[in-house]
Structure 1
Amino acid sequence: MVVRVLWMTCMLVLGASVVTPQTMNAADESDYYRIVSIEVAEASDSRSANWQPAPDGLVLEVSGLTVMDDSRIAVAIRKGEIWTMDGVYDDPPSNVKYEKFASALHEPLGLLWHNDSFYVTQRSELTRIRDRDGDHVADEYLTVAKGWGVTGHYHEYAYGPKLDHEGNLWITLNIGLGLKGDQLARTVKNKTLGYRQGLWRGWGMKVTADGDLIPVCAGMRSPSGLGANADGQMFYTDQQGNWVGTNTLHHMRSGAFFHHAESLASIDHPESPITDVASVPDGLPFPDAMKAFPQLVPPVVWFPYKKMGQSATDIMLDESGGKFGPFAGQLFVGEFTQASIHRVFLEQVNGEYQGACFPFRSGFASAVLRMAQGHDGSMFVGLTNRGWSSLGAASYGLQRLVWTGETPLEIKEMRAKHDGFELTFTKPVDVKTAADPASYTMSSYTYLYQSSYGSDEIQTQSLAIREARVSEDGLRVHLVVDGCREKFVHELNAIGVRGRGGDPLLHTHAYYTLNQIPASE
């Protein structure tokens, strides 16, 4: 039986060919982060004569990816199988060994190796899969959790799991889009708001060690990426569409509502932590919508559309301690349509997360859907475009991103201050250029909160940078900025800044989501 999988409908006609200067600098990026192809469909890269190809018939459309305790990794694929792969750390990986571990899974969209078992979220349940007799083939499939609605709508994907620091497993549930006919008859019907969806559709769910399935937060559209930060707090990414102005990153916590209103169909359930929603505004700027809708929580980070991708996917924390370059402790977010990866710096202001996103690495062979960090600090990248538009010459595959040991000149961190922002660089900058306010430009904007598809940038203002103070070591610059606005994205272009050797920034742009302005120090 062929299962029709349409993971990324928000990417159907969104102009995948659009390339922006700040995100496409592949020749320079490769000096610092090198892409190694392990198995890439339709790739034209040259390989050694003893290259070991994937077994005949294996279509490596990676939908789940996890690193095991030894030298192996494992992937879940769209066909509903789990494969383990050894030899993937070799450079070049000319003798990769493949073993099929499990099959007959229903649309696996995540994979986790934990407690000597695989955990995978299928369309209707979270499953633990084990090898009891040591022959490297699964012989036990155990249901860990189930109980969310499946009406039969193709868009009702289930993603995960990912692990928090307390041992809980987290999953996210896609919203059903445009339910019709019998699908409507089988959905929860919120009496107050009139929204109809399967139970817990558009929700983030937590599964405890005892197997309890707990609804945590709502408002998700296509939450295909989730993961923990260095503090063990859980985050997810969402993709532009109805109720979602552009791609976003959110902090998952109990009772939070993010944006997609149809997830509120489940708030009548006795286990819902969200209650008392009387009405939902439609067509207001997001800051105004928050005032009219107290339950609405802003994104931790907005990813401006096309400037920072068109379809956000997986989240990976750099836990390498420096083996993957100068960004330890930061998050990396996959991008489907532009076949790239972005970087995110987060901070807490008044107890709430907010932060900045930056371009990081483009030029992958196909759409980036899954990422996992290897034991050596490198990043494994699972690819599949499922026939939709994405940059790259391949339709699926597996690649590995390796730090060359050379540190790029980048804006490493961007922190909010009461009078502007503080930039931290990966290497010392030239004082003359970094202290010149003319080396920078900045603007701010927001998005519409609306039931229509996406949003343009609205209420855009140019901001004056009055002063740029450079630290003695040349690693920090304090920008004094007029007119910063809470709940707005602040777009920075540090085009004039140079390193001490005269080299420009590898990526000049940063996008800070300023939900709260810190108090004066």
Structure 2
Amino acid sequence: MKLKFDAKQALVFLFIALACENNSDKKTTMEISADGFILQESDLPAYEKNIDHRGLLEALGDRHGESMRTGEHIYTNTCATCHGDPEQEGSLPTAFKFWEGTFKVGNDPYSIYQTLTRGHGAMPPQVNLTPVEKYDVIHYIRETFVAPENPTQYLALNEAYLAGLPAGSSMGPEPREYKPWAEMDYGNFLINTYELVPADAAPRQRSTGPVQPLPDEDFSKANFAYKGIAVRLDEGSGGVAAGNAWMLFDHDLMRVAGGWTGEGFIDWEAILFNEKHNISPRTIGELHFENETGPGWAHPRSGTFEDPRFQARDGRRFGPLPRDWAQYKGLYEYEDRTIVSYTVGDTPVLETFGVAYSGDRPVFTRTLNLSPSGELLKMRVAPVGTEVALMGSGAELVEENGYQLLHVTATDPIKIKLFLAAPGFTGLQEYVRNAAPAESLSAFISGGPARYPQLLETAIIPGEQEGAFQVDILNPPFNSPWKNQLRLSGLDFFKDRNKGVVCATDGDVWLVEGFTENEGKLTWQRIASGLFQPLGIKVINEEIFVTCRDQIVRLQDYNGDGETDFYESFNSDHQVTDHFHEFAMGLQADAEGNLYYAKSARHAREALVPQHGTLLRVSPDGERTDIIATGFRAANGVCLNPDGTFIVTDQEGHWNPMNRINWVEEGGFYGNMFGFNPPADSTDSGMEQPLVWVERERDRSPSELLWVDSKKWGALNGKLLSFSYGYGKIYLVPFEKLDGQVQGGIVELPLPRFATGVMRGRFNPEDGHLYLCGLSAWGSTQPQLGGLYRIRMTDTPVNLPVGIQAQEDGVLLTFTEKLDENSVENLDNFTVATWDLLRSRKYGSKHYNEQELPLEAAELGRDGKSVKLKIPGIQPTWVMEIHYSLESESGEAVEGLIQNTIHKLGEASSL
């Protein structure tokens, strides 16, 4: 049997939910059943009711070798990530160990099959595996781990057992290549960067090589819509990805970039689709018409189409048109209709798109409603040769410089309709005479029927872990009818703290209820879709703002059903290129209403635009964007500090010898010489130093930091947390400030790894608990695509160091609880090591000058919590690691590691 999905796909998409058959019920339930399963039997696909379990198990004897090979492939590339094996612990220490544990549901093959199929407890259902594949991995687990290592849990099969299995006649569907990115229902539009190409286009250019930075490709002739709104035109279910005809509106330039038809929407080549780096998706199928990259409308006063935007080093221009020229206002959704709103000068425009057919030949339509204008407005419709016709008064078609232009001359409001067809189309004028006239679009901008009426309920799995923290798992809706990937990337709460919003990087926003009512379940309502890589969300005065790659969107619900009727472009100053790496990360707001987010730079390449690798501030009215710090490589979000400064993390890479947590001052440069217009001084003294260099063994990819704001967190209230996207962990960040330089370290909280990378967190002011959301896509070891979690502190002492000071004679640590003096004074209970890094254009750095530092003494302070490690000859260092193995005053083990950075040494102090 040949496995039809590759290892990487299996690893990344193992936990994506199956879309069950749609139903018309208002509410779809996914509660934990009495036996602990996540999916109910009614949630499963129909074929599961007719599986020949006996036949599948009996067939294992005839195909033992093939089954073991397939099962090993699945286990090694998916299951081992969490579960590990007898030699290597998995990334989730709490995951079941087949070689030593006791099965919770049952140790027979059918019971294990039920666990894989329906999910149980913290383990989501493995919905991408077919029945044959599930029994193959079960066979491998039983014969490899259970039989030899855990024989009391091995159930031998006999006739009585086989006869008792549910009867059926099907082996289930054949294995297939799993492409969830292409199967998801994104809604009727999807915003992304797209390249429009004809069906016979040459292969892409992709620069490679060992020398960094990589050279730029020649994209001077490419037709990219960097902020492309792809709109499905034909009718049918499944959203934009399931269509057969599309138009692409570029909201940087207010142009229709082109229209195409075919089987298949795009080629899905992109980092957040099929994981391909250094690439953007292309259209596939037949491209019937296209407009070159440039303003869609002439300047309303000068009449020129000459592009005035920022010109990058490679000759391309990026960013939106000036506001006095044209401005994108947002888009409305009404049933399957998408209506774009923008202005040309002072003239408001509403535009929608359609397709009709003359025989089997498509005719694309653009319906425009324009308010009165006191000047001539000119719009590029299509190159000469494209068949174009106009219906309506107040405008005319004119040829100019190789283009067919629309001249709008009316002084009254007008409704017009453009018809476009491929060159060679005959009979368009006759077709238009029988076509429906342009309609008024005002009837479709006040809210329409709900597009996603189903409410989805999911179970909350309460944590019962021992120790200072308990983690509740707040399951997302794995059985979503829209096949959502649920890679959760941001969350925030309303004034009613029982309600919150969660965004997902696949384009969705969800309204979630049930956070504080403690009824054991959450209700999820899909309220927005089709957005461009949302990676931050903030509720301000009960309004929802979302950070997307192309804009900050304010979601407007006009009819009170919760769903978004108008995707208002609050700010679209974003300079977007085709590069895969320039994520727009996080969203915070200060007391004055300014918004903040971070924008990553290009990977292994020099910046093209000023915004690459920056921290950005957007004014409260959305009218202005300012760059307030530069030199970042992959800045994953932003934390606002009480003193008005910021914290921004960055990732190991070129000019970053290791991950860094940066305490950011306005105007600072933070080290990435591949950024836009870097300083002339490339030495370490030419940049701001980080709070701490974070070794990849501790966290391969830090995300966002958060100040603890909860009395329930006791000694940790007011302290600083750092979230790990790379390893699914949480760290405490003790720090100090010496002569204006902030320095400190990280200490891991005593929690098992989360199944996802941790992206964002918020404390709920009502219950005082920490809520986290996470995802796994690029650069994370954690296998689950998305997750939502709640962390509650118990009364158990946490026993962590919350303070660190580097002094002339050693290091002073301050713990949350009192310590045993004898354990502190025993120098064998400490190990202190240091090493240096080398910052260069190369990726990362090895260790230099590694050494273990001798301790002269360890003293416990009068408060019982302060520990002074006296270290002769201590010096500033890039990286220090302090291992400690102590006891508390009451006899509990206090063990851990602090990894810190020392830039300066303070004065020695006595305890």
The TM-score with structure 1 as length reference comes to: 0.80
Q: Which amino acid aligns with 2:620?
A: A
Change (3 A) 1:409 1:62: same
Distance (Å, rounded) in 2 between the aligned partners of 1:453 and 1:34: 38
Q: Secondary structure at the match of 1:138?
A: coil
Distance (Å, rounded) in 2 between the aligned partners of 1:65 and 1:377: 15
Q: Secondary structure at the match of 2:889?
A: coil
**2:501 equivalent in structure 1:** 74
- 1:384 aligned to 2:775? yes
**2:673 equivalent in structure 1:** 261
On the 8 A contact 2:485/2:785 being kept in 1, the answer is no
144, 151, 169: which one aligns with 2:570: 144
Change (3 A) 1:20 1:465: farther
The CA deviation string for residues 156-209 of structure 1, in whole angstroms up to 9 with x for no partner, is 211122123554211111111255xxxxxxxxxxxxxxx442331011111232
Distance (Å, rounded) in 1 between the aligned partners of 2:652 and 2:736: 24
Measured after TM superposition, the shift of residue 359 of structure 1 is 0.7
278, 293, 296: which one aligns with 2:680: 278
Distance (Å, rounded) in 2 between the aligned partners of 1:450 and 1:149: 27
Distance (Å, rounded) in 2 between the aligned partners of 1:41 and 1:247: 33
Change (3 A) 1:508 1:387: closer
**1:5 equivalent in structure 2:** none
Distance (Å, rounded) in 1 between the aligned partners of 2:869 and 2:746: 18
Measured after TM superposition, the shift of residue 128 of structure 1 is 2.4
On the 8 A contact 1:489/1:513 being kept in 2, the answer is yes
Distance (Å, rounded) in 1 between the aligned partners of 2:572 and 2:879: 38
- 1:484 aligned to 2:874? yes
**2:706 equivalent in structure 1:** 316
Distance (Å, rounded) in 2 between the aligned partners of 1:378 and 1:422: 30
**2:473 equivalent in structure 1:** 37
Residue pairs, 1:175-190, within 5 angstroms: 175-178=601-604
Measured after TM superposition, the shift of residue 390 of structure 1 is 2.1
Measured after TM superposition, the shift of residue 83 of structure 1 is 0.7
512, 516, 520: which one aligns with 2:904: 516
Residue pairs, 1:341-352, within 5 angstroms: 341-352=730-741
Distance (Å, rounded) in 2 between the aligned partners of 1:94 and 1:440: 44
596, 605, 609: which one aligns with 1:198: 609
**2:839 equivalent in structure 1:** 449
On the 8 A contact 1:66/1:75 being kept in 2, the answer is yes
Change (3 A) 1:144 1:56: closer
Change (3 A) 1:333 1:54: farther
- Higher alpha-carbon deviation: 420-429 or 360-369: 360-369
**1:154 equivalent in structure 2:** 580
RMSD, aligned CA: 2.9
Point out where structure 2 has 5 or more consecutive residues left out of the alignment: 1-11, 13-79, 96-463
**1:504 equivalent in structure 2:** 893
Q: Secondary structure at the match of 1:111?
A: strand
Change (3 A) 1:339 1:520: closer
The CA deviation string for residues 339-361 of structure 1, in whole angstroms up to 9 with x for no partner, is 21111122211122211210113
622, 631, 640: which one aligns with 1:219: 631
Distance (Å, rounded) in 2 between the aligned partners of 1:178 and 1:247: 16
**1:362 equivalent in structure 2:** 752
The CA deviation string for residues 415-458 of structure 1, in whole angstroms up to 9 with x for no partner, is 22332221111111001111233321212222110111111222
Change (3 A) 1:97 1:315: same
Distance (Å, rounded) in 1 between the aligned partners of 2:603 and 2:552: 22
- 1:437 aligned to 2:839? no
Change (3 A) 1:426 1:106: same
**2:649 equivalent in structure 1:** 237
Q: Secondary structure at the match of 1:465?
A: coil
Measured after TM superposition, the shift of residue 96 of structure 1 is 1.2
**1:87 equivalent in structure 2:** 514
Measured after TM superposition, the shift of residue 220 of structure 1 is 0.9
Measured after TM superposition, the shift of residue 136 of structure 1 is 2.0
Report how many residues are paired.
456
Distance (Å, rounded) in 1 between the aligned partners of 2:88 and 2:627: 39
On the 8 A contact 1:444/1:484 being kept in 2, the answer is no
Q: Which amino acid aligns with 1:213?
A: T
Change (3 A) 1:29 1:509: farther
- 1:467 aligned to 2:857? yes
- 1:290 aligned to 2:684? yes
Distance (Å, rounded) in 1 between the aligned partners of 2:778 and 2:695: 24
Measured after TM superposition, the shift of residue 30 of structure 1 is 4.5
- Higher alpha-carbon deviation: 339-348 or 165-174: 165-174
On the 8 A contact 1:164/1:233 being kept in 2, the answer is no
- 1:422 aligned to 2:824? no
Report sequence identity in percent: 24
The CA deviation string for residues 289-321 of structure 1, in whole angstroms up to 9 with x for no partner, is 324xx3x11111111221x1111112221111x
Q: Which amino acid aligns with 2:782?
A: L
Structure possessing the higher relative contact order (Cα contacts under 8 Å, 6 or more residues apart): 1
Distance (Å, rounded) in 2 between the aligned partners of 1:342 and 1:26: 19
Q: Secondary structure at the match of 2:772?
A: strand
Change (3 A) 1:77 1:391: closer
95, 99, 105: which one aligns with 2:525: 99
Q: Which amino acid aligns with 1:511?
A: Q
Greater fraction of residues in helix: 2
Change (3 A) 1:148 1:59: closer
The CA deviation string for residues 98-126 of structure 1, in whole angstroms up to 9 with x for no partner, is 12222231111111111221121111222
**1:411 equivalent in structure 2:** 801
Distance (Å, rounded) in 1 between the aligned partners of 2:680 and 2:813: 42
On the 8 A contact 1:464/1:483 being kept in 2, the answer is no
Measured after TM superposition, the shift of residue 387 of structure 1 is 7.2
The CA deviation string for residues 462-496 of structure 1, in whole angstroms up to 9 with x for no partner, is 2222122212231111222222222522211112x
- 1:300 aligned to 2:694? no
The CA deviation string for residues 315-337 of structure 1, in whole angstroms up to 9 with x for no partner, is 221111x3124211122222123
Change (3 A) 1:178 1:350: closer
Measured after TM superposition, the shift of residue 133 of structure 1 is 4.5
- Higher alpha-carbon deviation: 374-383 or 142-151: 142-151
Change (3 A) 1:151 1:391: closer
Change (3 A) 1:458 1:165: farther
Change (3 A) 1:395 1:161: closer
Distance (Å, rounded) in 2 between the aligned partners of 1:477 and 1:169: 41
On the 8 A contact 1:173/1:223 being kept in 2, the answer is yes
**2:305 equivalent in structure 1:** none
Distance (Å, rounded) in 1 between the aligned partners of 2:883 and 2:565: 55
**1:64 equivalent in structure 2:** 490
**1:328 equivalent in structure 2:** 717
Change (3 A) 1:129 1:146: same
Q: Secondary structure at the match of 1:433?
A: helix
On the 8 A contact 1:175/1:197 being kept in 2, the answer is no
- 1:400 aligned to 2:793? no
Measured after TM superposition, the shift of residue 210 of structure 1 is 4.3
Point out where structure 1 has 5 or more consecutive residues left out of the alignment: 1-7, 9-14, 43-52, 180-194, 268-276, 281-288
**1:125 equivalent in structure 2:** 551
Distance (Å, rounded) in 2 between the aligned partners of 1:452 and 1:443: 25
Distance (Å, rounded) in 2 between the aligned partners of 1:477 and 1:161: 38
- 1:109 aligned to 2:532? no
